[in-house]
DNA sequence: ACCGATACAGAAACCGTATCCCATGCTTCC
DNA sequence: GGAAGCATGGGATACGGTTTCTGTATCGGT
């Protein structure tokens, strides 16, 4: 009384349906489709016809269970809206597609709980790698948390890749793809200093964010190199967003702070700062110079176009994927977490129109 | 001589490992973990301890094969870099997460081949729905192609959702989530006309893109309503990007075209147009007014802030997911592709600072 | 103290595909 | 002409879970 399978097409067609209808065995259908076993031309034709008729596609889950399956990379991102990280995602996506890999984007919304949940989810999916994007908050707990992620993924045959944040300490099974954050900041600050600026409002970002720390450090090094005193009072921390840039400049102006340039931690922050200066009747770059960081499209779309630090986001994505693919292919001789696991890409200053030498020195 | 399973932890732990180590049956472990069957407190404790010790997570592929599994929505997007669609993706993501669903982003890069490949890929993955984002090119082939996608997904137990493009013709199993594109354009153009502008440069987008067509149509209706002649010569088509906005204005100026306002098809196009006007020594909005469309963050970050049409992108994402979830839950009485399958959200003009009445009439 | 009901645990049957192993027919070589 | 070899196709099994079905111990009621 229990018909296992109605002949109608309830649900999707299986390989068995195809086999039956073509009058061949399941094994043969599988072989025709994967194409890694000799089959006669006749059989191939018969099978392919039925496949087309039924519009059959193999079940990825079953395939993956049985050993086959497409490798998948998961990209975990704080905020899909951020332009910079969208470019990393694009790089990963592109490189993945090129190899026939699948990629998958998840957003954490800056919530550690959700980050944990997503990493576990990816572990369940058996992804080849989890790519974690964006600067990290340098809390004490962070290192432990990430180390646990790394080991946990490693044990499950997966791998953790950190993009745009500093490498983990100790012998942790993770790969890091980074850029010369501090160097970029150093070069950017030098550009300002060599133009003659001495009083610079610095908006590096959140104090606990690793990228902000690096950018601040690079800037400070430049000041030291130029023998210009670095006044802590002229550093304002805050989130990497437009509002922060606007408000920080607004407040600095209200306090009567004197500055001839703004060194923003991000192009978006720079945009906010620029707007606030204009609102106060100041011209950019005639009265105040501004520089950003990241070189997202916005930078060249502002008026004036923003001088900024170019970060090769898309390439970082490609490199991250390549690192994973290489490691997966060179399965034997799995090198222990040595130097090969930390890749650093270069940055450089892009000079546009937002910097001029200071006109009137007022201090 | 073939040990099936080495006792060491080669690869990831399976449910069998857990069962063995806890001294219970596989079935019991499964029940403890899924929690949809009564289990004694003692058993639960024993199992959970082993699960923690082994850092075990269930294999999503196996689970999905066996009937369980988390529903997954796939979001297909032309270009992950586009700000507008990132917001839709965010909306879908958020709503999906809320229900414990998984979501997945793929990019097509405007390539029909790749779009086809991705839809098939998603079909293989057995996703609950495929959400196609962004305006479509209105070629003849398009309707057929989408109809085929819809039927194909439907047959596989999945579902097609079109977001931000007009619904398919005929009885096609697909859901459309749309916004009042033409109405927004009508309101925006009216705003310009009521301010007194009569000579308006219109940059609607690609002529074949459905969104561009709608925006152009809305604008034209407004001109008609105001009794202002609509000159085809003042319409310039092109891609939705910064460069097009810049070049279109540059050319119009070079040709000696006289206009007091620019009606851009997109905020990004407006940004380009604004830059070109400045480069030509024109002030915005004193000499020329500009309006955009989409209301992405960029709009409020430009100087002057852009008057534009707000499109509820994030909400569209949420609505799209809700539509899929509802349909999936109300499994019985599956309504045939009636009116409930086309949802339209409202748009409205956001007035900022980029429009002023024309000062000198020169025609 | 006996019987039926109930609560829980285990064995086994799938889910859809890939692949190993074996059977078969036909070619090829001595 | 018969044996060995090759090219193919089919049957069975494994992958890691979920779920149904079955069995046993415990509990309450009379």
- Tell me the CA–C1' distance in angstroms for B245 and C17: 52
Structural domain includes residue A271: yes
Structural domain includes residue B127: yes
B142 and B194 part of one domain: no
C-alpha distance from residue B220 to each of A316, B263, B292 (Å): 45, 11, 16
| Residue B266 structure tokens | 């997109």
- The beta-carbon neighbor of A60 closest among B97, B114, B124 is B124
B212 phi, psi to nearest 5 deg: -65, -40
Determine, for residues A242 and B271 on separate chains, whether the beta-carbon distance falls below 8 Å: no
Name every residue whose Cβ is closer than 8 Å to that of residue B1 and which is 6 or more positions away in sequence: none
* Last residue in a domain, options A33, A50, A66: A66
B326 and B282 part of one domain: no
B96 and B169 part of one domain: yes
Q: Which residue has the tokens 């109605």?
A: A6
Other C-beta atoms closer than 10 Å to the C-beta of B284 total 25
A231 and A185 part of one domain: yes
Collapsing DSSP to helix, strand or coil, A176 comes out as: strand
Structural domain includes residue B196: yes
How far is B311 from A234, CA to CA, in rounded Å? Answer: 39
Mean of the pLDDT values across residues B191-201? Answer: 97
pLDDT at A334: 47
How far is B163 from B207, CA to CA, in rounded Å? Answer: 19
For residue B224, the distance in angstroms to the closest alpha carbon of chain A comes to 34
Low-confidence spans in chain A with pLDDT less than 70: 1-10, 330-340, 360-363
- Is beta strand B308-310 parallel, antiparallel or unpaired with respect to B348-350? antiparallel
How far is A14 from A189, CA to CA, in rounded Å? Answer: 62
B278 and B216 part of one domain: yes
- Banded model confidence at residue B38, pLDDT cuts 50, 70, 90: confident
Determine, for residues A125 and B61 on separate chains, whether the beta-carbon distance falls below 8 Å: yes
A116 and A205 part of one domain: no
Please check whether residue A282 touches B, CB under 8 A: no
A222 phi, psi to nearest 5 deg: -65, -45
C-alpha distance from residue B308 to each of A225, A304, B227, B290 (Å): 47, 22, 23, 9
The two most distant CA atoms of chain B are separated, in Å, by: 95
Structural domain includes residue B356: no
Query: Which residues of chain B form beta strands (DSSP E)?
Result: 72-77, 102-107, 129-133, 160-163, 174-179, 200-205, 235-237, 261-264, 289-291, 308-310, 342-345, 348-350
Residue B214 contacts residue B178 (beta carbons within 8 Å)? no
pLDDT at B360: 58
C-alpha distance from residue A101 to each of A92, A95, A129, A325, B310 (Å): 10, 8, 11, 10, 37
pLDDT tops 80 at residue B362: no
| Residue A315 structure tokens | 């390439």
Q: What is the DSSP letter of A168?
A: P
CATH number at residue B24: 1.10.260.40
A77 to chain B: which residues are within 8 Å by CB?
none
Nearest CA in chain A to B12: A156
Nearest CA in chain A to B297: A242
- Banded model confidence at residue B107, pLDDT cuts 50, 70, 90: confident
Residue B192 contacts residue B355 (beta carbons within 8 Å)? yes
Q: What is the DSSP letter of B198?
A: -
Mean of the pLDDT values across residues B275-279? Answer: 94
| Residue A70 structure tokens | 């497409």
Read off the pTM: 0.86
* Last residue in a domain, options A49, A66, A83: A66
Collapsing DSSP to helix, strand or coil, A307 comes out as: strand
Please check whether residue A129 touches B, CB under 8 A: no
Please check whether residue B81 touches A, CB under 8 A: yes
- Tell me the CA–C1' distance in angstroms for B329 and C13: 28
* Last residue in a domain, options B66, B101, B125: B66
Structural domain includes residue B9: no
Quote the mean pLDDT of chain B.
89
Name every residue whose Cβ is closer than 8 Å to that of residue B350 and which is 6 or more positions away in sequence: B295, B299, B307, B308, B309, B310
B105 and B153 part of one domain: yes
A319 and A306 part of one domain: no
Nearest CA in chain A to B298: A298
Structural domain includes residue A277: yes
A108 and A171 part of one domain: yes
Helix (H) or strand (E) holding A84: helix A83-98
pLDDT at B317: 96
A280 and A221 part of one domain: yes
A187 and A301 part of one domain: yes
- The beta-carbon neighbor of A157 closest among B11, B89, B114 is B11
Please check whether residue B274 touches A, CB under 8 A: yes
Helix (H) or strand (E) holding A236: strand A235-237
Q: Which of B105, B113, B135, B245 is nearest to A85 (CA)?
A: B105
The predicted-structure confidence for B82-104, as pLDDT tens digits, reads as follows 788 889 999 998 999 888 888 88
Structural domain includes residue A358: no
For strand C, the positions having any atom within 7 A of a protein Cβ are 7-12, 14-20
Number of domains in chain A: 3
- The beta-carbon neighbor of A124 closest among B55, B58, B80 is B58
Q: What is the CA radius of gyration of chain B?
A: 27
B-proximal residues of A, 295-334, CB under 8 Å: 297-298, 301-303
Residue B229 contacts residue B223 (beta carbons within 8 Å)? yes
Minimum mean pLDDT range among A272-276, B250-254, B336-340: B336-340
Structural domain includes residue A269: yes
B257: containing domain: 181-311
pLDDT at A161: 96
How far is B107 from B90, CA to CA, in rounded Å? Answer: 15
CATH number at residue B99: 3.40.50.2300
B86 and B235 part of one domain: no
Name every residue whose Cβ is closer than 8 Å to that of residue B51 and which is 6 or more positions away in sequence: B18, B29, B33
């Amino acid at each position: 009384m229990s018909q296992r399978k109605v002949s109608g097409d309830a649900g999707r067609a299986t390989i068995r349906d195809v086999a039956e209808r073509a009058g061949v065995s399941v094994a043969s259908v599988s072989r025709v489709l994967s194409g890694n076993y000799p089959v006669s031309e006749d059989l191939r034709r018969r099978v392919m016809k039925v496949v087309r008729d039924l519009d059959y596609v193999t079940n990825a889950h079953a395939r993956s269970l049985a050993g086959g399956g497409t490798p998948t990379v998961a990209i975990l991102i704080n905020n899909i809206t951020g332009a910079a990280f969208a470019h990393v995602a694009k790089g990963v996506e592109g490189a993945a597609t090129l190899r026939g890999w699948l990629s998958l984007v998840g957003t954490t919304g800056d919530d550690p709980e959700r980050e944990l949940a997503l990493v576990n989810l990816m572990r369940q999916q058996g992804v080849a790698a989890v790519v974690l994007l964006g600067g990290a908050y340098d809390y004490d707990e962070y290192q432990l948390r990430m180390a646990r992620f790394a080991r946990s993924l490693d044990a499950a045959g997966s791998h953790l890749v950190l993009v745009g944040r500093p490498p983990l300490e100790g012998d942790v099974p993770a790969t890091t793809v980074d850029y010369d954050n501090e160097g970029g900041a150093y070069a950017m600050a030098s550009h300002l200093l060599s133009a003659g600026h001495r009083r610079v409002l610095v908006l590096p970002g959140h104090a606990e964010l690793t990228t902000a720390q690096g950018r601040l450090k690079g800037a400070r090094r430049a000041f030291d190199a130029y023998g210009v005193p670095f006044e802590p009072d002229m550093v304002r921390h805050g989130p990497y967003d437009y509002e922060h840039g606007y408000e920080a400049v607004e407040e600095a102006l209200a306090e009567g702070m004197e500055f001839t340039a703004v060194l923003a931690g991000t192009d978006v922050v720079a945009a906010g700062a620029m707007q606030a200066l204009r609102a106060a009747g100041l011209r950019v770059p005639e009265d105040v110079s501004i520089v950003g960081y990241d070189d997202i499209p916005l930078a060249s779309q502002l008026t004036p176009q923003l001088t900024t630090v170019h970060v090769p986001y898309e390439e970082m994505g490609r490199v991250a994927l390549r690192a994973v693919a290489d490691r997966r292919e060179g399965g034997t001789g799995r090198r222990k977490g040595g130097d090969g696991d930390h890749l650093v890409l270069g940055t450089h200053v892009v000079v546009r129109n937002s910097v001029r030498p200071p006109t009137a020195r007022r201090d």
